[in-house]
Each structure stands twice: as C-alpha cells, then as structure tokens.
Amino acid sequence: MVQENKEQFRLYYQAGKNALERGKYRQSVENLEKALEIVGFVSRLGGETQMLLITAYQAMGNQEKAIALCQELTTHPNGITSKKAVEVLYIIQAPELKRPESWMSKIPDMSQNDTTTPQYVTARKSPKRHPPKIEPEIDLSQVETEDNKFLWFALILTAITCGGLIWLS
C-alpha cells in the first residue's frame, strides 16, 4: 500500500471509529466504507474495518446488512478476523429471550399529564445539623491530684535499664 493511501485509510478509519463512539452511525458507516475501498476486503486491516462496520450497521438498526457482512467474514483469509466473525455472528443471531414482567420497571407516560402546570418538586437544601458539643463539667475538688509515684518508678526503671545496656556494650 502506498504511503499516501495508508494515510488516507488511517484518516477514514479513525473518523469512522470516532463517529461510531460518538453515536453518529451513518457518518461512521460512510467513513468505514471509504476506508475499506482503500485497503481492500481481504487484508487484515480490511477485516478489522469490516468488523467495525458490522457494529455500525447494527447500531443503525440495519441487522440484515450486519448479518450478511458477518457471514462473509467467516471465510476471511485472516484467521483472527474469521474467528471473531463467527463469534459475533453467533451473538447477532441469538434469539431474544423473554423477560418476566417482575424484572421490568414501568415508567409512567408523562405525555398524558397536564402540561400547563409544572409537575415537579423543587429540592430544598436541608441545613446540616450537628449535635451540640457538650463540654463535661469537671469538679476539680474531686480530682485526685496527689502523685501516685508510678511515674517516678517508671523513670528510674528506664534509667537503670539504659545504664545497664550502656555498661554491657
């Protein structure tokens, strides 16, 4: 592939991929088809482009075109592409399962309401309420302030231990 064609392919491919990610499916299909014309159908890049094209077709609601392209890709010369196509085809053609009504949430039809008066409730900010801080009242006359000599005992014991360690070393 010529360098100019590679660049043109890359631009169309990237534009198609970006459009697909943004939900602009018609634009995505147009760009991916242009990219596919440049690169060819049977190359590895052509296979990748066609896989994206299948996704774009599905997103547009064109299920028949997506299935047809996927069936073509199952015989693609690139093994990885054909394997992916088989997997995607299996998923696309899977039957839709019925869901029980209990799994569904019913959304009320708002078009039936009177539209002249607004049917909404404004949110109010509720003030944050902090519990009042209660300072305990301490009667200092009941507090025992006499030294219980434990502190002095701990300090002396620590000093003796440190002195013993220094003497032994």
pLDDT of residue 109: 72
- Can you tell me whether residue 148 is helix, strand or coil? coil
Homologous superfamily assigned to 3-92: Tetratricopeptide repeat domain (1.25.40.10)
Q: Is the pLDDT of residue 114 over 60?
A: no
Q: Work out the average pLDDT over 85-101.
A: 87
Degrees to nearest 5, angle at CA 99 with 93 and 101: 160
Q: Which residue has the tokens 């014309």?
A: 37
Domain edges within the chain: 3-92
pLDDT of residue 28: 94
pTM (two decimals): 0.57
pLDDT of residue 130: 74
- Could you report the per-residue pLDDT of 31-73, keeping only the tens digit for each? 999 999 998 888 889 999 999 999 999 999 899 999 999 999 9
Q: What are all long-range contacts of 90-98, with beta carbons under 8 Å and residues at least 24 apart?
A: 92/54, 92/58, 92/63, 92/66, 92/67, 93/67
